[in-house]
């Protein structure tokens, strides 16, 4: 009887915990939908997706409408930026990857930048620009996997370009960046309508007009319309709009505007660029197929982390326990050390050792380095070559890299509650704030799904404020050149050269379970993206949270990596071993336990960019949506 009662109580406790995990309240309500779901970084942009759904479009149509709207609204990106996507094709029953990353322009070589005194390519200005990828990526996605015309998909964006009430976040971002914006003629004409007044940016709620961009988008639709009138198919007509942007009069105006302001992009650069359809990388984690874009993004680091974590009883460690945070921190550091050194453009030599990096044997051997008592502060890239039957030709660079990382001191992060005692000077505080901003430097995400099984995850970016606008096109230029390196010691696979893609932080995600879509998810936030997505994924898969609970759940960031964005010196970008950013809700006892393991801890209210996700509820054949309580991200479903 006692044994029965004990078992009953144990099962009851488990049930209560499970029920709480499933149905605990959140700050934002979860989304539920039967027919479709659209989530992205701005409420008006989510509305654009809902419009296409209500017009009978599929998830790709809706995603393209949201992408166009977010670019038009400067949601930390513009039309001259880059797009990367994963989509599940329900008829083919496969995941397809879209690479619409721009490339380094003609003349962009390591020697070009070194001769001008750069340690990395610049983070702002016309020399920071890769070729635009988003217009081509959108056209390719729509033509091949959507159902609607470009005119229908761009209709919300055209209305926004004609004038919309600008939201406070973007308006205030423009005001903060106005001194840099004033350097560029066309940018100040568009973004500073009150030039010379006390506030030069638009006011929140003011009708913000972009006549040049409206004209550019209208030209693309005109090209589509003319092609249809001459008997072209829907797909051919959309690609006619593509050609006008990359090969026609739009391209001419774009190149003039770039070169007039000191940029390197040529007409030939635009003509030679094209979006690519790829096979994504994938692994299986406890019966779930997890897909990421390849090594031109940081996405494989997510897969490497799961390879190691599947060897650990993650649930037994306990959600956000000291040992859980300590273990996951080290796993992430190992994967980011590999990311920083081995990832690059797969279409250029040398070829990255991805088979070795993603092998189970390599993951197990890397995991053997994990220290249960303290953080490994000097972790560097591993050697994946033997795991694919080869010899590592870059071992000498790894030794030099260790010297570069070890030289110089790393400033300790003072916990927030101790800052008054430490009397940090203003320069130190500003340095830390600048570092954190570069670590989190954001973008947006686009997630869409429909009842027919189309799922799509996009993490577009580039052309964020302050951006150079290319002449009278209204198109803001990408700033992604800064993600290249100029020195092989840092990464022999990511050296800048004309026609090459930089290794980017952008990382959409898809998961498949039992032959059907399981989840589409993404997050904004620079180098923290896959850190936060690993934690989000584990929250759902291991700890039974809903997608909304998982999106809001407190997490942590590691600074033990090379920054991909911002900073002009090696010291700006170096890893900061042992630095750990925790959410303020983490208990004091957990913080003290981590300090004893040697961590330098800082706490913040926000430790993640907005996470957006759509999950397919197989039991009820419905959609669950989650959109983080950070930022303006928003979802609509039906």
Per-residue tokens: 615: 């999950």
Q: What is the pLDDT of residue 414?
A: 26
Q: How far is the C-alpha of 128 from the C-alpha of 108, rounded, in Å? A: 10
The average confidence (pLDDT) of the chain is: 91
- 3-class secondary-structure state, position 346: coil
Burial of 3 (C-beta count, 10 Å sphere; 0-12/13-18/19+):
exposed
pLDDT tens-place string over residues 182-198 = 999 999 999 999 999 99
pLDDT tens-place string over residues 452-494 = 999 999 999 999 999 999 999 999 999 999 999 999 999 999 9
* 566-576 burial: b if 16+ Cβ within 10 Å, else e: bbeebeebbbb
pLDDT tens-place string over residues 2-45 = 443 334 333 333 333 343 355 578 999 999 999 999 999 999 99
Q: How far is the C-alpha of 23 from the C-alpha of 226, rounded, in Å? A: 53
What percentage of residues in the chain have a pLDDT greater than 70? 91
Q: What is the pLDDT of residue 2?
A: 40
pLDDT tens-place string over residues 287-335 = 999 999 999 999 999 999 999 999 999 999 999 999 999 999 999 999 9
Q: How far is the C-alpha of 635 from the C-alpha of 50, rounded, in Å? A: 9
- Examine the pLDDT at 397 and tell me if it is beyond 60: yes
Q: How far is the C-alpha of 564 from the C-alpha of 556, rounded, in Å? A: 19
pLDDT tens-place string over residues 582-625 = 999 999 999 999 999 999 999 998 888 899 999 999 999 999 99
Q: What is the pLDDT of residue 624?
A: 98
**Is this model's pTM higher than 0.85 or not?**
yes
Stretch among 497-501, 533-537, 606-610 having the lowest mean pLDDT: 606-610
Per-residue tokens: 27: 């700050």
Rounded to a whole number of angstroms, the CA Rg of the chain reads: 24
Residue 420 CB contacts under 8 Å (≥ 6 apart), including other chains: none
Strand-pair partners of 82 = 461
Q: What is the pLDDT of residue 415?
A: 27
């Amino acid at each position: 009887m006692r044994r029965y009662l004990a078992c009953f109580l144990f099962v009851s406790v488990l049930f209560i915990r499970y029920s709480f995990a499933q149905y605990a309240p959140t700050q934002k309500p979860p989304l539920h939908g039967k027919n479709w779901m659209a989530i992205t970084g701005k409420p008006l942009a989510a509305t654009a997706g809902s419009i296409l759904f209500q017009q009978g479009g599929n998830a790709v149509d809706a995603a393209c409408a949201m992408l166009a709207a977010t670019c038009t609204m400067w949601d930390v990106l513009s039309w001259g930026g880059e797009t990367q996507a994963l989509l599940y094709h329900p008829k083919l029953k496969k995941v397809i990857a879209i690479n619409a990353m721009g490339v380094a322009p003609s003349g962009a070589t390591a020697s070009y930048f070194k001769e001008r005194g750069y340690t990395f390519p610049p983070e702002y200005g016309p020399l920071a620009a890769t070729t635009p990828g988003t217009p081509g990526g959108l056209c390719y996605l729509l033509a091949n996997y959507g159902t609607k015309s470009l005119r229908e998909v761009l209709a919300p964006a055209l209305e926004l370009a004609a004038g919309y009430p600008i939201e406070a976040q973007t308006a205030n971002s423009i005001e903060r960046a106005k001194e840099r914006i004033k350097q560029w003629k066309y940018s100040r004409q568009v973004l500073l309508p009150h030039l010379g007044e006390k506030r030069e940016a638009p006011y929140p709620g003011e009708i913000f007009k972009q006549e040049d961009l409206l004209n550019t988008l209208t030209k693309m639709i005109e090209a589509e319309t003319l092609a249809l009138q001459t008997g072209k198919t829907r797909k051919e007509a959309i690609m006619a709009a593509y050609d006008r942007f990359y090969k026609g009069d739009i391209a001419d105006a774009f190149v003039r505007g770039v070169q007039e302001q000191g940029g390197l992009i040529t007409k030939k650069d635009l003509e030679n660029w094209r979006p690519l359809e790829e096979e994504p990388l994938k692994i299986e984690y406890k019966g779930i197929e997890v897909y990421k874009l390849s090594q031109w993004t940081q996405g494989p680091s997510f897969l490497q982390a799961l390879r190691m974590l599947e060897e650990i009883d993650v649930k037994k460690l306990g959600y956000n326990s000291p040992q859980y945070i300590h273990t996951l921190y080290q796993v992430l550091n190992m994967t980011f050390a590999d990311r920083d050194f081995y990832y690059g453009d797969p279409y250029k030599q040398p070829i990255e050792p991805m088979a070795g990096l993603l092998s189970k044997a390599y993951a197990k051997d890397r995991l053997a380095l994990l220290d249960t008592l303290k953080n490994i502060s000097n972790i560097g890239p591993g050697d994946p070559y033997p795991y694919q039957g080869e010899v590592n030709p870059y071992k000498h660079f790894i030794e030099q890299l260790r010297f570069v990382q070890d030289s110089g001191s790393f400033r300790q992060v003072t916990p927030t509650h101790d800052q008054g005692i430490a009397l940090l000077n203003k320069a130190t505080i500003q340095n830390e704030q600048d570092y954190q901003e570069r670590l989190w430097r954001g973008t947006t995400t686009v997630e869409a799904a429909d009842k027919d099984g189309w799922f799509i995850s996009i993490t577009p970016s580039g052309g964020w404020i302050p951006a150079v606008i290319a002449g009278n096109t209204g198109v803001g230029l990408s700033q992604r050149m800064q993600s290249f390196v100029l020195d092989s010691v840092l990464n022999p696979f990511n050296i800048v050269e004309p026609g090459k893609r930089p290794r980017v932080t952008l990382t959409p995600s898809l998961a498949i379970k039992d032959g059907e879509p399981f989840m589409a998810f993404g997050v904004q936030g620079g180098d923290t993206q896959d850190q936060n997505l690993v934690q989000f994924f584990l929250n759902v898969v291991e700890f039974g949270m809903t997608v909304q609970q998982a999106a809001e759940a407190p997490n942590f960031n590691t600074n033990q990596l090379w920054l991909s964005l911002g900073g002009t010196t090696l010291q700006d970008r170096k890893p900061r071993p042992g630095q750990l950013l925790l959410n303020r809700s983490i208990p004091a006892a957990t913080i003290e336990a981590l300090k004893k393991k040697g961590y330098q801890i800082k706490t913040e209210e926000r430790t993640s960019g907005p996470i957006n996700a759509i999950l397919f509820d197989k039991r009820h054949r419905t959609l669950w949506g989650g959109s983080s309580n950070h930022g303006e991200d928003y979802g609509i479903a039906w």
